[in-house]
Structures are given as structure tokens and as C-alpha cells.
Structure 1
Amino acid sequence: MDRRDFLSVAAFAPLTLSATATATATSTAASTATAGRASAPRRRGPDWGRLRDRLSGTLVLPADTGYDRARRLYNPAYDGIRPAAVAYCATPADVSACLGFVRSAGVPVTARSGGHSYAGWSTGTGLVIDVSRMSAVAYANGRATVGAGARLIDVYDGLARRGVSIPAGSCPTVGVAGLTLGGGIGVVSRRYGLTCDALESVRVVTADGRVLACDADRNADLYWACRGGGGGNFGVAVSFTFRAHPTRDVTVFFLHWPWAKTGDAVRAWQSWAPQAPDELWSALHLTNGPRGMDVQVGGLYLGAPAALDRLLAPLVSAVGAPSSRYARQVPYQRAMMIMAGCSSLSLAQCRNMGRETFSAKSHMAYGKLGGGGVRALVDAVGRKGRHAVLLDALGGAVARVGGAETAFPHRAALFSVQYYAEGTSRTWLRATHAAMAPHWGDHAYVNYVDPDLAGWRGAYYGANAARLARVKSAYDPSRLFRLPQGV
């Protein structure tokens, strides 16, 4: 009954990167001319010891114990990438010191929070600035202040003790920073908005080492960009202040139908889910996995089971009686554990869920599929392999924010679409994405960053791309922060 229980870890042989260098004499004469000449002095590498002395956190180098763990991301597909160093920053001053060091040493830099970048762009071959030690979660007077290194399960847990929460996603180990900076689609978004909609202020260390407080009045353009403009573009976020909402018991539900009902389920869900009351969020999963073909609608309702039954009735009437049905009222924090795939795990086990080798692509769906689109989607999932299509309902509070009010442009989308495949092959993903492009266009979600994507600026940011470029020029004119798909 878990949201993510269709996933299983595929066997994977880590990628390896190697480099060889050879040198040969160009001629006997050249060899003779250089005989006995002292070798040119070798260029000294970065003085990592100097950086280590400036940090209150920890600098991990390739020869250090713990390096192999320090360099890993959530996805083992990127295990072959070997950073020159990983800095576990304990304070914003540590981040400033790291940025000063890379500017003077000419070392590439990458920021990392949870390490969940779909393209592996939360690591690199230079210095990785890891903010995971800045993970405190505090609450006062209706506001939650969260360190950029906090992971989602700990945000939910810390705030649950105060009877509050923020709108956020379902993956328990994703970093709150990346989630927020890219927008933040989550399981109560239709009622409370995206994660970035609840963001009231953010502290960012910019390329020149300044620690800036950003909100609607201070550095307002950078604040705007941090609400959907994507992580790793404008600086290193170190803390966030969110508007929190009170929590109560909620109802989680999962409905399954036989595969023969998949077309009916797609047609009915895409009309029903985005138009449901704000308190009802749902997702449609079409899965070809280890247990065969499956169609599931799961979700969360901010109310009691009896009222949920009435809201589900139109969907069930259109699709037919489900082959299995589960609905239970549970405390809010328990619901977040269920949606995270941690229903049978302790909090500690949920924090340490296994890594997964996967690839993904996305669409943002602004319109419903016609008959041809439904057939194309069902046929794609039915092809041989282990893969899934995940549709998460939008609308509600998400749609009531203007497309230019934050950097997240997809306010009119009915739902997000994620194409997910086990392993590292992108063959099925590319074919399926191409098959659905005539129906869903070229809109995509930056938090499902896609290294294949052509026209990614328009796909991720739409009409907001030009303004984001101006913010980039203002705060990082020398482009210290460089992503392959960087603003």
C-alpha cells in the first residue's frame, strides 16, 4: 500500500572513470636537446590544508577515511564520480570560506543538500559543499526555520512534535533545499501550495561569499528566484523560514484495478483529480514491475474516511469497482511515513532507506489526454521492462498563484508526469517521452532534472527564464556556479 512500493533496487555495477596520460619524444633531436635539462616545476595543486584550517566543519579528501561514503549520492549510477574534496559545512561562514577558496584556486564547485539530483549534479570533480550538518528544525509563532541540510523525514518529525507541518514531498531522504528551490510538489500542495509558496525567507551565501537574507523586502529578486528557479544556480542556501500549518488526523487511501482497466483509470483520473476539493490530493501510478502490471490511485485526504468515500465515488463509478481498496485515518506524521514508503519502518530505518539506481524524465501536463494519448501512455507502460509513469495532481492552491509571482511557472498544469525506469538505460524513457510529447508538449519540472532535455530553459522555466537570467547575472556575474543546465 506504500506510495513507492513498486520500486526495487536493481543490481548495478558502479561506473568507473579512468584517465591515462602518455608522453613520447617527438624526435631524437628533441630528446637530445632536452637531455640533462631540469624538469619544469610542476604546478602545485590546491592547498586543501589551508581550507581545512578555516572550517569549523570537516573537509574530506580522497585519501581520508570516509571519503567513499562522503562522495556518494542517493543514486548509485553516479558512484564513479570522484570529487577532489567534500566539505561538510557546519556554518554559513564555512560555506563562505569554501567559495573564497574555489574562487582563488580555480576549482569547480557543487552544492549538495540531500544528494538526490536526478542527473547527478549534486556532485562533481571539484569541491562539493555539503550542507547536511546545517539541519536544525525549529518552530515559533507559526514559522518553521529549517537548515538547508535537513532531510524531509526529519522536517516532518521535528515539526510534528509541535503539531504543525509545511507542504512538502514524499521521498523521506530528499533534502529540503533542493525540493524548495525547484518548487516543491507534495502531498498537500492542493491545500497549502508548493513548498516554495510557504517560503517566507531564505539565507543564501552568494558567489562573492556574502550571506544574504532574502525575503519580499530584502534582496527580493533573489528571493523570487529561490522559489522555483532550481538549486545550484544562484548561491548556496543555508536556511529557510516557512509559514507552517497546523496538522490533524488525515485519511490515506490506495485503490487498485486490474490492468484491463488502465485506460478507463487514466481517462477518469485526469478529469477528476485536478478538480477535486483542495483537501484531496491523489496520484495515479501505472507500473510494470516485479509483481507485474498495476494501476493504482493513491492519495491523502485532509478529512475523515466517510467524507472521502463520497469524494471517491465519481472516480469509482467511472472506472468500476477496484480490485482492492484501502483507506485509513491516521495521525499526520504517520501519513507522511506511509506516503514515504516507510509504513513498516522505524524513523531511523526510514532515514537510512536503501539507495536506488534509476533514470527519469518528466512532463508538466497542461491538458487532458485524448483517446490517442491514453492509448500511447498505456502501450508505453506495457512494454517489456521495469518502469512506471507517475501522475501527481495539481490544481487547487497551486493554481491560485500567478505564473510570474514565483519562479515556478507551471501554475496552470493539471498534473505532473514522471517517467521512471530502474537501472541506467534511458531507452524506454526517451521513447516514452517522445511518444507523449505530441500530447503534453515540452513542459518539464526542474526538480526532475533531465540531462537529455532539449530546450530545457523554456521547458523548466517558461516565461520566467529571462528574469532568472537577470538574477543570475546580478548575483553570480562570473558564473562560479555552473550546471550543465544552469540558468
Structure 2
Amino acid sequence: MDRRVFLSAAALAPFAGAAPDWRALDKTLKGRLVRPGDATYATAKRVFNVAFDNASPRAVAYCATAADVAACVGFARRNGLVVHPRSGGHSYAGWSTGSGLIVDVSQLKAVKHTAGLATVGSGAKLIDVYSTLAKSGVSIPAGSCPTVGVAGLTLGGGIGVVSRRYGLTIDVLKSVSLVTADGKLITASANSHPDLFWALRGGGGGNFGIATSFTYQTHPIQDVTVFTMRWPWSQAFAVVKKWQKWAPGAPDALWSNLHLSQDPGRSVSITGLYLGSRSRCEALLKGFTAPTRTVRSMGYLQAMYFMAGCSTLASCHTGPRDRFSASSHFAYTEMSDSTIRALIAQVARPGRHTVLIDALRGAVGRVAPGATAFPHRNALFSLQYYAHFENASPWVRSARDSMTPRLGKHAYINYPDIGINDYKSQYYGSNAPRLAQVKKTYDPAGFFRHPQGV
């Protein structure tokens, strides 16, 4: 063990016999500290997935400033506590909570736009980012879940509804401000801490520090066209086969996803967004004949509400929590007929579950796999296995395991799955060794850790 590692490890150790002085931390914070026994503790410790309600953190720190985040990191380091960074609380694997100190950045939610750049607090919810930027006539490429925190979405890559035109969220990221393991607030960009900046673009949340703000290049917005097409289950094979040949190679302005669902009944649907007119969108869809088909033009922000499954900003914030299990794959080649049938058979099994398939390529595929930490640039599409309620986890595990020999060993870090043993190669591919080196440089003692750390 070299001297730096030894000193860092020593700094993590608690003072012998000393209990954490929570009152001292509370007095330090401009935000508030919630502890077991407090009236708001049961609510404060919640994350989006109901399955993690049994977690019992030592405390939840609602940080009002970047200095609050640094104070929490220093306190945890001195007292040998594990920290659980939390932005939106949507971590599929429950890494936003645990038995240590939750460092909640939801109060760092300011969204500002100046000269084509958006500076966004790490605790901002995605729908608020869309809504605020729309007032300036701009946006950033990102996802569809309205209450997901911008931090987790960005750090894992950021697959979204305009990615084929504008790239992943990380492809417009210009800088990240974060608190590192030594309690320092730094800014990583192409010109400052470039190796760390590379790692933060797809290396996943909770590995290198706690982000406090992001700066993105924005794009102008316009009216767009959204569409939905539905078929009976008997048409599932034909729809999947046709969609996978069409969607990844469509014009960049068109994004779509395909749902194979049993939730609760069986259904097949394609939903999408086109950055252009309704007439042009109709022309691009002419190869699909669907019993139910809706094509509508609307404002950009209204389209983001539509994709989120809500109709107003208020309703986007009030959706129910969920009890779920999930996993993922990337498809680098078109699925064979037998693979499509195998996938359909998995969805047809009893339960409440969906396979969500998102088209990639376009701008996503024009970035080299090693240019950022996100390695899946050459994939045609991603697949997410998502199941609710009882027996959700067994279905996800069985479905993914059965499809892995057919689709290969690739997975998305933003849909973390603790059942994946060789997770480094599946999440990061050939970028894993470089990520490990960045980790050694910025967090040599492994202060920031979770079960699938780099």
C-alpha cells in the first residue's frame, strides 16, 4: 500500500470509541438533517422504488449548497460512514439509500440558461429541466421519466427521446462540478481534470464523487410530432421484425420505442417523436399498418409531457411510486426470428411486466465507443426488462438470463442489476480498465462505493 492510499484509508476510519456528532453536522448545514425518530424520517428515507422502504439510514442530509455536500463527505469520512448520494432517488438497485448517510441534493435544483448553455443543479428533476429551459426556447437531450434526477441520468449516459438527433445527455455535457472523496469541490471539463470528465460521461453515479451541478450545450426547440401505434398480441412477431429493421436507420429526427407488454393484458405498441411536421412523420410511418394509430403535432414541452405520461407540470410531479425490478440488454445486431420468438415468449409468461426497446444509432452511433465512458455506441437498440409487484425479480432474472446467449453480454449502467456478476465488462466494455484507473486517482481508498462500483 503506497503512502497516499494508506493516509486516505486512515482518514476513513472513525475515531476510536467516538460516536458521530450528528448535532455538530446539523449545525454546519444550511440545509436540514433528518434522523431516526424525527417526524419526517419515514418520508425522508423513501426512494422511488417501494421495494427499498425497509432501508434504515443513519440520517438524511438535505443539502442546500455545495458546501453542505462537502461537509457531509467530510463528516462521513471522519466517522467511517458510507454515503448514499441521492438526486431523484430512482436508482434501480437502491443505491440512493442504505444504512449510512443519505446525501440528498434535491435542493440543488436551479436551472439557468445563458448564451446557449444550461447550468443545472444536480438535484433538479428532469421535467423541471425541460419546463424551465422551454421558457428560453431550448432544451437538452434526455429521458422521459419526469421525476428522475438529472444527476443519475447524466452520469450513466442519458438515453432519451431525441438522442438520435442530438446525442446522449453526456454528448452535450460541457462540465460537472462535484465534491470528491477528499471533500474538495472541483469542476471537471475537457480542459480541467479531463480524465475525470471522461469518466463522468457514462461511468455511472456514485463512483467518483457527488455532483452538485452540470453545464450542458442546449439546442433550440420547435413544434414536434408524436405518434402511437398499437396491435393485437398476435401481430407481435411481425411488428418487432419490421421495427428493428426500420427504427435504427430512420432519419435522425425520428426516435421510437417498442413495447411488448403484459401489464396486465398483452399488447404491442410503438411510440415515438419526430422533430418535424406531421405530414413528414406520416410519410415515415407509411410502412406500418396498425388498427390503432394516433399522430399529433404539439409544442416541444407538451411532447415531453406526453412522453412522460402526464399532461401538466403538476401532474408530472405527482405520479405514484412503484415496486419493481428491472434489467437490460443492448442489441448490436438485428434479432433473428428465433430470438424474436424467444423474447415474445418471455413476455407472454404470467405476471405484470414489459420489455421496452429504444432505438439508437443516429447521433449516438457517431461517437466513438472510447470517446466517453459509455461504450455502447454501436448498438442498434437497448432493451429494458421491467416488472412490477410480486415475482417481479424472478421474472426479470429469468427473462434476461434466457436472452443473454442470444443478445450477448451488454447492459446499461443506468438500469443497474445486482444479478449481473461480470457487470464491469457488461456496463463498460473495453472502457472498464480506464475507469478503474480514474477511480484510483480520485478515490484511492474507495470512499464512494456500492456493490457494483468501478
Deviations 1:438-460 (A, max 9, x none): 22101000000001012000000
User: CA shift at 1:77, angstroms?
Assistant: 0.4
Equivalent of residue 166 in structure 1, options 130, 140, 148: 140
Partner of 1:193: 167
Amino acid at match of 1:237: A
Partner of 1:128: 102
Amino acid at match of 1:164: V
The answer on whether the counterparts of 1:359 and 1:424 sit within 8 Å (CA) in structure 2 is: no
Q: Whose radius of gyration is greater, 1 or 2?
A: 1
Amino acid at match of 1:339: M
Partner of 1:264: 238
Partner of 1:412: 378
SS in 1 for 2:285: helix
Partner of 1:395: 361
User: CA shift at 1:352, angstroms?
Assistant: 2.0
SS in 2 for 1:389: strand
Deviations 1:187-223 (A, max 9, x none): 0000000001110011010000111111100001111
Structure 2 matches for 1:112-261, cutoff 5 A? 112-261=86-235
Partner of 1:342: 310
Partner of 2:4: none
Cα distance in 2 for residues equivalent to 1:424 and 1:159: 39
Partner of 1:300: 273
User: CA shift at 1:429, angstroms?
Assistant: 1.1
Equivalent of residue 481 in structure 1, options 442, 448, 453: 448
Equivalent of residue 329 in structure 1, options 281, 297, 310: 297
Partner of 1:442: 409
Cα distance in 2 for residues equivalent to 1:353 and 1:454: 33
Equivalent of residue 74 in structure 2, options 100, 111, 116: 100
SS in 1 for 2:160: coil
The answer on whether the counterparts of 1:390 and 1:417 sit within 8 Å (CA) in structure 2 is: yes
Consecutive unaligned residues of structure 1, counting only runs of 5 or more, are 1-41
Check if 1:471 corresponds to 2:438.
yes
The answer on whether the counterparts of 1:77 and 1:424 sit within 8 Å (CA) in structure 2 is: no
Cα distance in 1 for residues equivalent to 2:35 and 2:162: 41
User: CA shift at 1:169, angstroms?
Assistant: 0.2
Identity of aligned residues (%): 56
- Using the size of structure 2 for normalisation, the TM-score is 0.95
Deviations 1:76-115 (A, max 9, x none): 1000001000001111111111111111111111101000
The answer on whether the counterparts of 1:254 and 1:327 sit within 8 Å (CA) in structure 2 is: yes
SS in 2 for 1:173: coil
Partner of 1:24: none
Equivalent of residue 325 in structure 2, options 359, 379, 399: 359
Partner of 1:380: 346
- Comparing 62-71 with 327-336, greater Cα deviation is found at 62-71
Amino acid at match of 2:178: V
Cα distance in 2 for residues equivalent to 1:125 and 1:206: 21
Q: How many residue pairs are counted as aligned between the two chains?
A: 438
Partner of 1:10: none
Consecutive unaligned residues of structure 2, counting only runs of 5 or more, are 1-15
Equivalent of residue 111 in structure 1, options 52, 68, 85: 85
Deviations 1:390-419 (A, max 9, x none): 000000000000101100000000001000
SS in 2 for 1:448: coil
Partner of 1:70: 44
- Using the size of structure 1 for normalisation, the TM-score is 0.89
Give RMSD over aligned pairs. Answer: 1.0
Deviations 1:286-328 (A, max 9, x none): 00012x11000100000111101111123x1xxxx21100010
